[in-house]
Structure 1
């Protein structure tokens, strides 16, 4: 009997070790804290675990694995298996997806942002671009148009924005530079301190980030309709790690993306419905930019920056015009 029990115990231990060995764990590098901007990753982790009975898990880290500007580098060397980053943090590393950060593209809502990102991510030139970093594009992090918060007297005209130091990256930063403002690309996590210390006068963010990084807490005013553009922040996976997944694990991951994005959009739209109340609660003045100033802003930023971007891409052998046209065609299809 003792021998029998011993054999049973050994067998049980062997099964336990085999199960542990079969389990797949991925490390995921994000930054800041859990917020609307990361809800799709959180939902993805939940869905993948459910579909695989806990045999495939995503371990999400908020800043513990890498700095946000180094996430793509971490993916390239396999330091972690999944990460989120923003194209504007390092335009030279991911030039093709910066088409989605061009100012005044005319993207009207989160659904359109998802559609144009999907279309661009699927383009062979874009996939080849990210493959240089051993990265596979998995899903976007759709964000509404940026607007700025500031302290002191509101910057309600383009003239008042000349010389304004603004935290803005990518195409949004270039748009502000076109009207005489001075953009700086401090990271999201540095924005509050930069604004509080006077390193910048204003910060350009989507609403969730003004909340998450507390810039709204020290703001006196917010531009409600400037809408110069937004940033594009993909979630990518390490290609080797993705290819090493079993068929069932890969199916669990891929089949969860659309549901994770839908959850993100629903959650973000709920936040937007609360935004007016948040502004009132924090006594932040809403600043409305005139139609004439908005037209002047577009004239100064939209066409010149787009044409220069296309020229720069084509000079690198990249299909700049084709990518821009793809965005416009996708928007047209979405509105039919």
Structure 2
């Protein structure tokens, strides 16, 4: 009987040991990636890109690879530092804006040239069609996504802008360097600041207007600070990235790399562009519902704006090319070719 008990005990112990080894191997293979962004958790980019990606990679890997999203700057305040956070490994993945570090992403910034694209989907496809021209700017990271929103609208607190003359002397928050140069050419005063600061700046008179993609109306409650929105001034659109730390990428298994690749890239980027478009339409509707006056400049005013900005645009492209040792005009031509 003693022998039987010993045999039974040995078998049971071996079974428990095997089960614990199997469980331990599963736990060891599981990984959680930290995604950092600076917007509220309900922002269209969280709900339209990052949260779906987290759900999809969890399903694709059977829970072996998961993502935890840290919104609202939980892994560090200040959207300007997003690129640094992903390079240094503070976060495994970050959402960010190339023009917050324009020297790093000078070539990507050529997609912002006003007049190239009617919408974010066209711009996003152009970026991926020409990724070979700009991919070296992302060499310190793993590029997961790159997309654009729709051209900016002009949101003003007290003064309607219907003509070039209306813009003279206005302090305008601009979304990127090229729009800063154009605002100067148009007679305004460009002000650079993160989108998170625009609400208070409008309310306190630090700035008179905000130039931003229309989705920003809802995200930053700008309908509460605005009296007018001019929707069709010839303006730039913004670009956005989702980047992964190189070491975090290298540490993934080949299977997990393949599955993450399949879920990201152009397809995910186009989803980001659509999410911005839908959010932009919702933002414009919110402004209307809040009693904000919607303005469209007429053909004569449009021609005046475009004539005034032509020399400035060419000079800006020349400057970027000279500073970075690239043929910036060729990049603009490639991006703008249909």
What TM-score do the two structures reach when normalised by structure 2? 0.88
1:244 pairs with 2:251? yes
8 Å contact kept, 2:230–2:296: yes
**Distance in 1 separating the partners of 2:29 and 2:220:** 39
> In structure 2, what is the Cα distance between the partners aligned to 1:120 and 1:68?
27
Is the Cα contact below 8 Å between 2:121 and 2:270 reproduced in 1? no
Give 1 or 2 for the bigger CA radius of gyration. 2
Deviation at 1:43, TM superposition (A): 1.9
Instruction: Tell me the residue number matched to 1:23.
Output: 30
**Residues in 2 aligned to 1:92 and 1:228: alpha-carbon distance in whole angstroms:** 21
| TM alignment of 1:30-49, pairs within 5 A | 30-33=37-40, 34-38=42-46, 39-49=48-58
Kindly state the Cα deviation for residue 267 of structure 1 after the two structures are TM-superposed. Answer: 3.9
CA distance in 2, matches of 1:138, 1:310: 30
Partners of 1:289 and 1:45 in 2: how far apart? 42
Comparing 279-288 with 6-15, which one deviates more in the overlay?
A: 6-15
> Would the alpha carbon gap of residues 263 and 304 (structure 1) be closer, same or farther in structure 2, given more than 3 Å must change?
closer
Q: State how far apart, in whole Å, the 1-side matches of 2:105 and 2:279 are.
A: 30
Q: Distance in 2 between matches of 1:250 and 1:302?
A: 45
**Which of 68, 92, 115 matches 1:81?**
92
SS at match of 1:204: strand
Counterpart residue number, 1:55: 64
Shift of the 327–302 alpha-carbon distance from structure 1 to 2, 3 Å rule, reads farther
- Residue deviations 1:214-267 (CA, integer Å, cap 9, x gap): 112221111121141111112112223223322211111111124433443444
d(CA) in 2 for partners of 1:9, 1:310: 70
- The 5-angstrom pairing of residues 20-169 of structure 1 reads 20-33=27-40, 34-38=42-46, 39-62=48-71, 63-66=73-76, 67-102=78-113, 104-123=114-133, 126-131=134-139, 134-169=140-175
SS in 2 for 1:292: helix
Deviating more after overlay: 223-232 vs 31-40: 31-40
Q: Distance in 2 between matches of 1:130 and 1:40?
A: 20
Q: Is residue 241 of structure 2 the alignment partner of residue 234 of structure 1? A: yes
Measured in 1, the distance between the counterparts of 2:298 and 2:99 equals 28
Q: Helix, strand or coil: the match of 1:255?
A: helix
Give how far 1:144 is off: 0.5
Q: Distance in 2 between matches of 1:321 and 1:114?
A: 19
Q: 1:99 to 1:268 in 2, by over 3 A?
A: closer
Mapped partners of 2:164, 2:52: distance in 1: 41
Aligned residues: CA RMSD: 2.1
In structure 2, the gaps of 5 or more residues are: 1-7
Cα 1:120–1:239 change in 2 (3 A) is: farther
Give the whole-Å Cα distance in 2 for the aligned partners of 1:61 and 1:238.
16
Query: 1:175 aligns to what?
Result: 182
Task: Give the 3-state SS of the residue equivalent to 1:108 in structure 2.
Answer: coil
Q: Name the CA distance, whole Å, in 1 between partners of 2:159 and 2:279.
A: 27
Matches within 5 A, 1:252-331: 252-257=259-264, 258-275=266-283, 277-329=285-337
Describe the superposition over 1:268-309 as per-residue Cα deviations: whole angstroms up to 9, x where unpaired. Answer: 444455455423320010122232222222222244323432
> 207, 211, 216: which is aligned to 1:209?
216
What is the count of residue pairs matched by the alignment?
A: 325
